[in-house]
Amino acid sequence: MMLVNTTLRLRLGIAAVSLAAAVAVYCLARYYPPTLLEPIRATQATLAALPGLFGSLPSLFYILAIGLLVGCCADTPAGARLHCSLWIGVGLALELSQHPLIAAPLSTWLPAVLGDPAWTLIGPYWLRGSFDPADLLATLGGGAVALAILAYTRENKHEAVR
């Protein structure tokens, strides 16, 4: 007999599906996915031709997934919501950092601070990324869904599973 927390499984399952959906959008509906995903890129021209449909979905899915993951690491429901809220703040800051007034200075001094290997991996976020207010809304939306899931899924006792 094994003990399982079904709420944790639900939250982690939603996080996994959200993360997979974000990766799928980048790999299937973008011509230039993040460098890390370039080896598995399989862009479908039909999907890539619909940027209005797929444009901000990765922002929503990533914040939802990681918000749930960090929430699952907390000891209390209030801690889970706090961790998730902090992640939403990080996500909003990253989206805002793509604004040209912020991205240009970052691209000037950050490579020297990080070094070549790190800059090669994350530099394209500011060099090729573009600020889009819809990404801010998607970040808020994904964060709101994560907070709602954390708030409204009941913590349950471990259940016996055979």
- Number of domains composing the chain: 1
pLDDT digits (tens, 9 = 90+) for 122-155: 888 888 778 999 999 999 999 999 999 999 987 6
2: part of which helix (H) or strand (E)? strand 2-4
How high is the pLDDT of residue 54? 80
- Give the C-alpha separation, 156 to 121, whole Å: 40
Segment 77-85 shows an average pLDDT of: 95
**DSSP code at position 115:** -
Check pLDDT > 70 for residue 156: no
pLDDT band at 114 (very low <50, low <70, confident <90, very high): confident
pLDDT for residue 94? 93
State what percent of residues in the chain have pLDDT above 70: 91
Give the separation between CA 84 and CA 88, rounded to whole angstroms: 6
Q: How much is the CA Rg of the chain, to the nearest whole Å?
A: 18
Q: What is the mean pLDDT of residues 100-127?
A: 87
Q: What is the mean pLDDT of the chain?
A: 86
Per-residue model confidence (pLDDT) at position 43 = 77
- In tens, the pLDDT along 8-22 reads 999 999 999 999 999
Q: Which pLDDT score is estimated for 1?
A: 46
**Residue 138 domain boundaries:** 2-161
Torsion sign, CA atoms 17, 41, 62, 50 = negative
pTM reported for the whole predicted model: 0.82
